[in-house]
Amino acid sequence: MIIDCHGHYTTTPKEHQAFRDAQLARLADPNLPEPPPAEISDEQIHDSIERNQLRLLRERGGDLMLFSPKASGMEHHVADLATARSWARACNDLVHRVVGLFPEHFAGVCQLPQTPEGPLDDSIAELERCVEELGFVACNLNPDPSGGWWTSRPMTDPSWYPLYQKMVELDVPAMIHVSTSRNPSFDTLGAHYLNADTTVFMQLVQGDLFSEFPTLRLVIPHGGGAAPYHWGRYHGLAERMNRPPLAEHVMRNVFFDTCVYHQPGIDLLHRVIGADNLLFASEMLGAVRGTNPQTGRGWDDTKPYVERLDLPEADRRKVFELNARHVYPRLDARLAAAGR
């Protein structure tokens, strides 16, 4: 089985975005009426998936995708708590409907109603709803709800602990994923996403989060940002700070995905990180779309890159399937119950 741990519902019917636009308009003008939830038919959802993510998943030889709302659309920089709650709920309910229509091919990963420097109570409640009522297997967690201004405390700070406690209780991991950048110095896709991946990895090196939560699991997407490329720097800094070796201090709990869109990058990622901490992913349909003129394949068609690695069959299966089943135990239980 080939499990893609990183997919987004970027092809939602237009009514979904119209609901969001109406929410934002009402924030700008409170005299406007509160918008009703978007009315979207199963047929619209079916068409939006069948023609896009599911078509490509089948064409590229994948079996199942962990599916979450559009990352840049989470827009956690919008500070109104009620708006954040209703928007996250609408996004997650839509993903749940996708999973219901295509249960063999998708599993839900939820958006949390985070706000800049806001409390985490609503995020904890939405996580619990999505996991226990909707059957989701993980969440996306934004380390910078401000959208590029980094007003939040490091992810090792105790202010995050109540959410981690709920994640441990529910036995679900988080993918570290920021939303759109509001800082003009940081392009959302080419800078902000990768900055966040790299920043959080360094926070984990500096802190002692996994001493507090030894079973907490985090997935850092986009190949881990700059971390694999500068692995020697992080080893050296950890030693300079009298931190334990990375293998025991961080990498028992942290995993990187394979959303790296060229062969040399995947080769380096595997050589540095190793098969035990890699999860296959494509980020489809996400930041980099279209065809690579050098390969004639989609930029986000990452499976051939992984297949070209010189991996023993046991390691290949880890990257394509077994690591995901370990990191996402609720997914593993669901698949096992279906005889997969």
Q: What is the pLDDT of residues 47-70, one digit of tens each?
A: 999 999 999 999 999 999 999 999
Residues catalogued as catalytic: 283
Contact between 139 and 112 (Cβ < 8 Å):
yes
pTM for this prediction? 0.96
Q: What is the pLDDT of residues 8-37, one digit of tens each?
A: 999 999 999 999 999 999 999 999 999 998
What rounded mean pLDDT belongs to the chain?
A: 96
| Span 93-104, average pLDDT | 98
What is the β-pairing status of strands 3-9 and 218-220?
Answer: unpaired
Is 80 exceeded by the pLDDT of residue 286?
no
Looking at residue 292, its pLDDT comes to 83
| Span 221-236, average pLDDT | 97
Tokens of 215: 């079973």
Which amino acid, residue 277?
N
φ/ψ of 65, rounded to 5, equals -125, 135
List the Cα angle 56/57/61 in 5-degree steps: 110
Using the CB atoms, write b or e for 244-269: b if 16+ within 10 Å: eebeebbbebbbbbbbbbeeebbeeb
Looking at residue 28, its pLDDT comes to 96
Residue 173: closest CA among 327, 70, 69, 326: 327
Is 80 exceeded by the pLDDT of residue 193?
yes
Looking at residue 290, its pLDDT comes to 79
Q: In angstroms, how far apart are the furthest CA atoms of the chain?
A: 63
φ/ψ of 8, rounded to 5, equals -130, 150
The whole-angstrom distance between residue 269's C-alpha and the CA centroid of its chain comes to: 18
φ/ψ of 56, rounded to 5, equals -70, -35
Looking at residue 333, its pLDDT comes to 98
Is 80 exceeded by the pLDDT of residue 335?
yes
Q: Which of 100-114, 143-157, 225-239, 277-291 has the lowest mean pLDDT?
A: 277-291
Strand order in the sheet with 174-176: 3-9, 64-69, 106-110, 138-141, 174-176, 218-220, 254-257, 278-279
Indicate the burial class of 181 (C-beta count within 10 angstroms; 0-12, 13-18, 19 or more): buried
Share of the chain above pLDDT 70, in %: 100
186 contact partners, CB below 8 Å, separation of at least 6: 148, 192, 195
| Span 82-101, average pLDDT | 98
Model confidence at 249, pLDDT cuts 50, 70, 90, reads very high
Is 90 exceeded by the pLDDT of residue 285?
no
Cβ neighbours around 203 below 10 Å, total: 16
| Span 92-112, average pLDDT | 98
Model confidence at 204, pLDDT cuts 50, 70, 90, reads very high
Tokens of 26: 């009402």
Is 90 exceeded by the pLDDT of residue 289?
no
